[in-house]
Structure 1
Amino acid sequence: MRILPALAAAIVIAAPAAAQTGKPAPILTTPEARDVWTHAEPEAARVTHVDLNLDVDFATKTLSGVATLDVLAAKGATEIVLDVDYLDIVSVTCPKGKPLPYKIGPRETEIGLGSALTVQFEGNKQILVRYKTKPGASALGWLPPELTAGKQKPYLFSQGQPINNRSWIPTQDSPGIRQTWSATLTVPDGFVAVMSGDRLDGDKGELVPHQKRKFRFKMDRPVPPYLIAFAVGDLAFKATGPRSGVWAEPSQLDAAAHEVADVEKMIDAAEALYGPYRWGRYDMLVLPPSFPYGGMENPTLTFLTPTIITGDRSNTDVVAHELAHSWSGNLVTNATWSDSWLNEGFTTYFENRIMEAVYGKERAAMYADLDWDGLVRDIKDAGGNDAPTTRLHGEPGATFGQLDYFKGSTFLRTIEAAVGRAKWDAYLRSYFDRHAFQPQTTAGFLADLRTNLIKGDKALEAKLELDRWAYQAGLPDNAVHVTSATLAAVDAKLAAFNAGGPASAVQPTGWATQQWLRFLNGLPRQQTPARLKELDETLGLSASNNAYVRSAWAELAIANRYEPALPSIEAFVKRVGRGLLIYPIYRDLMAQGDWGKPIAVRFYEGAKAGYHPNAAAGVAKIVGAND
């Protein structure tokens, strides 16, 4: 049975049942933990559990069904405030069907906060909210068959971070309000649903009437709501180890499994460093190219971009990064998006340690050295060492570029160098244990660091400059820069080419992605057409199967208005929707004024139908489109 447009979903809000949810996860009530990106008032009433029962309708690009939210209310509280966006609210009732008063506030569009849904629960412990998603919901990527690998069936995936899940789940969409959840997804027969929780019905789900298939999931460990994620498509599974495996479209499956085959080694390495993996399985989902990120650390099911599949496993740092989030981000989470570095900086540092344990010091040094390049570049592009957007803790979403990753990981590496690796590792392991399944703030981390590592050592306190790193702009003088011998060899070839040597002398056979990036990003931005033609034809840049190479080459070509590269660039931005790889291309085209702006708009108009709403909005902002 097709889901009719009039069919609505129901959400139930109930007091937590101890057998189901256990003890509710704590929230932080300190001033710095106040989240300005939510309408919720968790001190009065907060969500502790979400249960979803949703039908997926590809024809109307909507979700509808039934959901259950458990709420913990303070004494005397009479209302609960939820975050909603792009939802049609049909009714609000108690479980027995009695209507309950509710109101929907005005929609805030500048940041994407959506609206406040305020419900008077009148002493009821359960509330049913009937709703339906709208086409255009910011969390949902609805792909037509032609934008998938198989090109036979449509595809749907969600992307919740940072505050997009309010467009398909009416809940308190804040990272500091951790929630357990369960879900039932009903999809057309012939499709597979996967979610970021434990599977209850095996790989094929349960066949139900009207040519539909039902899949059930649960997550009994409290997570920030942005980590509730799902995908529906033509999917197959291949194990990569006793507790890991990869989902992908059938035509991609073998290549994906080959690329991520070292994941069990990574899990072992991560556990040896910082304690047990607490999420059961570690499976991965390789999505279509329109997925807007390199990876998303959804528990039990990391989402991965297919752009990491290059056949040489040189981009497995993305897998290590998302795995590391199982500790930093998923286990201990930034309470607000002002402190996103507590997720990303910690994870980038931890990722590097995993890479070192699995592949050796030099491979890890190569990644760290490139991160340093990114750190220096981002500080420069932000406006220099005094730019306020170079602070780790600041306005939510305001940290420039990838500084929450690069500056955050450099901060932790600097602490490691000051106190010694053994002492630092012991501290980090205990930190994850102390704060497991809890939110954290910068102030809270620094307090924990002073109590459990520095322990009143004034000389060490002065040496570390903790407040300088966390709250002030720029890069402190004590920052540790790890250098790579492998990249130094690339630098020598780069210097020879920049001095006028031939491209044929570069000889990049066997280069990993990181070596390519060091070379291409190190080339002077001004090149002659003849030199660009030599580079392209000798090194095969326009035809490269490596998405990172194609993006870096596009930036160089655009800087020189090298029109022979435009067909390749256009094909690339139509095929790939990963923001890291396409945003710089559009920005560089716009920076080229009258030459580049119409090209950027033309590329976007031809590509936007295949982008996730997040990526489409990001590009539209760059090119000035009114979408």
Structure 2
Amino acid sequence: MRRILPVLALMAGAACTTIPPEAMQEAAPARMVAPVLATPDALDTSTYAQPQLARVTHVALNLDLDFVARRIAGTATLDIVAAPGADTIVLDDKGLAITSVTTEAGRPLQWSVGAADGEKGAPLEIVIGAARRVTIAYSAVDADALQWLAPEQTAGREHPFLFSQGQSILNRTWIPTQDSPGIRQTWEARITAPKPLDVVMSGIQQGTPEDLGDGRRAFRFAMDKPVAPYLIAIAAGDIDFAPIGSRTGVWAEPATLGRAHYETSDTERMVEAAERLYGPYRWGRYDMIVLPPAFPYGGMENPVMTFLTPTFIAGDRSLTGLVAHELAHSWSGNLVTNAVWGDSWLNEGVTSYFENRIVEEIYGTKRARQEVALDYAAIIETLAEVGEDAPGTALHQPDGTESAGSAIIYNKGAAFLRTLEQEYGRERFDAWLRQWFDKHAFQPATSAMIYEDLKANLVGSEAEAERIKLREWIYAPGLPENVAKPDPAAFAEIDAASAAYAKDGSLPSGWAAWTSAERQRFLQSLPQERSAGQLATLDSALGLSTSGNNEELFLWIELALANRYDPAVPLAERFLGRVGRTKFVRPLFAALWAQGDWGRPIARRIYAGTRDGYHAATRGSVDRIFAND
């Protein structure tokens, strides 16, 4: 997923007991059951679950969507495995309205919801006795994971829309289960929705929709491979489908579908390239849905149904690294998942490396090297802001340390793997990474596990691990001195143009022919203090305010607002009114807020009109800015 990822706490040094498979009692049908790791570094304190005693292995949802009440309601039936003598299971619950908990035969079970603890929610304890399948009847209204959009918030402006965003721990607001990345579960679902809306989920659709005769239809889905609970996702709205290849395609609102299909038309080639690199795609189909602009992130790697922001649609496929990134998650993140959020780099860092390899295969070495250079610059910028010794700049984040952001989890993680590739050669490195995916397929992993695997299967010895700074890369803050540097020639022409502009205001003559990465590099390199006249000249010469590329448009608006450039305010208001991506929304409000008496009234006015249209994750990030009043 492309976003800045909050890192939740780990519990260090606590004991954890593994339940041998033969000691577990299971009444459910035979399904793939993933292990739960037992080491202290795999103990997830973002969940109330006690998987060493009893855990969920399968979830069956039967839910109705009510767009008027913004409510999802029905039942969740859970299959459970438990240690001998265990008579209670603990689930995660945040705001669910539970009406009953029963056995498969309908016998009521004793249950209780404990005290709530902020974002973590509350423990839902069920006395299961000998039961190994329980059904929870419940509803969720305005759940944080669910974004209900009114018709006017969609492209078609005729029908409502719904989408979910579960990562990191929001799915507990609409699904009663053990909401931890280390407790993987298979699942199935029956969802009813009013006509003419279609429903898609992060599972394979089963058959055709069933007309219920009451103005509603039922859709069925199944995921027969164990996934982390945050990867259970849903979307519903007026959407159509366009195929790309035999196993790939894209959903979108009718008004968006043509542009979405053009922008994603390289996807089948990307899947083939990814398979050549690191082995077979194991999920069956790879479809995508381009959501309305309120979606808070660039993309979300929900299995078989990647969720995408429309802000990546530039008309020239210049931002399709996003698609490559979400596809790469089918191996790193979905196939092999971080057991705890403090090891998120195993998900995002590995994926960012993989993304760049796909981009190189499809779009060539020049684009891949330029994107590496942009990512490296982001690392250096973050270290300059927070300090090279800041604990949050380590890849592994224990004890609740807050990560310094995406430049660490994504970019530093990718730089680590790129350094190993440079040191040992692509052929050897690729063989190691492929065996890592194969060995841990459909299982959770930790930093300690990848450290030991690297040492045994790539590096070869403790002495070599020390030489290559293996432990320092994973556990220490900052950037090790042996980091593989980006190609200095990647932006030679652009950096020369930036220097010329900084010296005497010379504007680049080749702007129209530059790649998006080159334009972003130039905009990021501009002097931060510009007069109104200088900004007007830039905008007039380069057409910045009319750019169809949202990454470039965002950089221009941010620069303009930081210089109190009044002509850019209406553009910023329109942009913030149509885009809900946190990556763009938060920095622009922050730029306004930093301008005190000039910017804060503008920020308050714009936010008053846009806040209700943002996802809870975006609202929360902006609310924190306004809290500093």
Query: Is the CA contact (8 Å cut-off) linking 1:310 and 1:546 kept in structure 2?
Result: yes
**Do the aligned partners of 1:295 and 1:318 also contact (CA within 8 Å) in 2?**
yes
Among residues 25, 29, 32, which one is paired with 2:34 in the alignment?
A: 25
Q: Aligned partners of 1:256, 1:124: CA distance in 2, in Å?
A: 47
Q: Where does residue 292 of structure 2 map in the other structure?
A: 288
Segments of structure 1 that go 5 or more residues without pairing to the other structure are 1-13
Asked if 1:356 corresponds to 2:363, the answer is no
Q: Give the equivalent residue in structure 2 for 1:452.
A: 457
* Corresponding residue for residue 264 of structure 1: 268
Are the equivalent residues in 2 in contact too, given 1:16–1:49 (CA < 8 A)? no
CA–CA separation in structure 2 for the residues paired with 1:397 and 1:387: 10
For 1:609 and 1:536, locate their aligned partners in 2 and report how far apart those are by CA, in whole Å. 31
Q: Determine the structure 2 residue equivalent to 1:200.
A: 206
Determine the structure 1 residue equivalent to 2:19.
none
Instruction: Give the secondary-structure state (helix, strand or coil) at the position aligned to 1:443.
Output: helix
Are the counterparts in 1 of residues 92 and 178 from structure 2 also a CA contact under 8 Å?
A: yes
Kept in 2, the 8 Å contact 1:82–1:117? The answer is yes
Cross-structure match for 2:555: 552
Counterpart selection for 1:164 from 159, 166, 170: 170
- Relative contact order, CA 8 A, sep 6+: which one is greater? 2
Q: Distance in 2 between matches of 1:520 and 1:606?
A: 29
How far apart are the structure 1 equivalents of 2:61 and 2:349?
Answer: 32
Q: Residue 227 of structure 1 corresponds to which residue in structure 2? A: 231
Root-mean-square deviation over aligned CA pairs: 1.6
Q: Is 2:595 the counterpart of 1:592?
A: yes
Which amino acid counterpart does residue 171 of structure 1 have in structure 2?
A: T
User: Among residues 234, 255, 258, which one is paired with 1:251 in the alignment?
Assistant: 255
Is 1:514 aligned to 2:517, yes or no? yes
Alignment of 1:158-557 (within 5 A): 158-202=164-208, 205-381=209-385, 383-395=386-398, 396=400, 398-402=402-406, 403-456=408-461, 458=463, 460-483=464-487, 485-503=489-507, 505-557=508-560
Question: How far has the Cα of 1:542 moved from its partner?
Answer: 2.0
- Specify the alignment match of 2:154 in structure 1: 148
**Given the superposition, is the C-alpha separation of residues 59 and 289 from structure 1 closer, same or farther in structure 2, using an over 3 Å criterion?**
same
Distance between the aligned counterparts of 1:518 and 1:102, measured in 2? 56
Could you tell me how far 1:103 is from its partner in structure 2? 1.0
Q: Distance in 2 between matches of 1:201 and 1:86?
A: 33
**Partner SS for 2:89:** strand
Q: Which residue of 2 aligns with 1:613?
A: 616
CA distance in 1, matches of 2:117, 2:513: 50
For structure 2, list consecutive stretches of 5 or more residues without a partner in the other structure: 1-23
Q: Provide the residue aligned with 2:121 in structure 1.
A: 114
Alignment check: 8 A CA contact 2:63 2:192 kept: yes
Distance 1:497 1:610 in 2: 39
- Change in Cα spacing, 1:608 to 1:413, as seen in structure 2 (3 Å) is same
1:186 maps to a residue whose letter is T
- Report the alpha carbon displacement of residue 17 of structure 1 after superposing the two structures with TM: 5.6
Residues 242, 249 of structure 2: 8 Å contact kept = yes
Q: Deviations over 1:382-424 (max 9, x none)?
A: x211111111111457211211001100011111111111100
Please say if 1:44 is aligned against 2:53. yes
Contact kept in structure 1, 2:585 and 2:618, CA below 8 Å: no
- In 2, the alpha carbon distance for the partners of 1:194 and 1:20 equals 26
The secondary structure found in structure 2 opposite 1:241 is coil
Distance in structure 2 (CA, Å) of the matches to 1:97 and 1:241: 45
Deviation string 1:532-569 (CA, Å, 9 cap, x unpaired) is: 01111222222222211121112111221111111100
Corresponding residue number in structure 2 for 1:3: none
| TM-score, with structure 1 as normaliser | 0.94
Runs of 4+ with deviation above 4 angstroms: 14-20
- 8 Å CA contact 1:497–1:506 kept in 2: the answer is no
Query: Do residues 132 (structure 1) and 139 (structure 2) align?
Result: yes
Kindly provide the amino acid, as one letter, of the partner of residue 100 in structure 1.
Answer: L
Give, in whole Å, the separation in 2 of the partners of 1:51 and 1:206.
Answer: 18
AA aligned to 1:145 is P
Contact 1:586–1:619 (CA under 8 A) maintained in structure 2: yes
Displacement of 1:487 after TM fit? 2.3
Compute the displacement of 1:463 (Å): 2.6
Cα distance in 1 for partners of 2:93, 2:539 equals: 49
Structure 2 residue identity aligned to 1:546:
N
What is the identity percentage for the equivalent residue pairs of Structure 1 and Structure 2?
50
Give, in whole Å, the separation in 1 of the partners of 2:145 and 2:109: 28
* 2:111 equivalent among 102, 125, 137: 102
- Describe the SS at the equivalent of 1:152: coil
Under a length normalisation based on structure 2, what TM-score does the superposition of the two structures give?
0.94
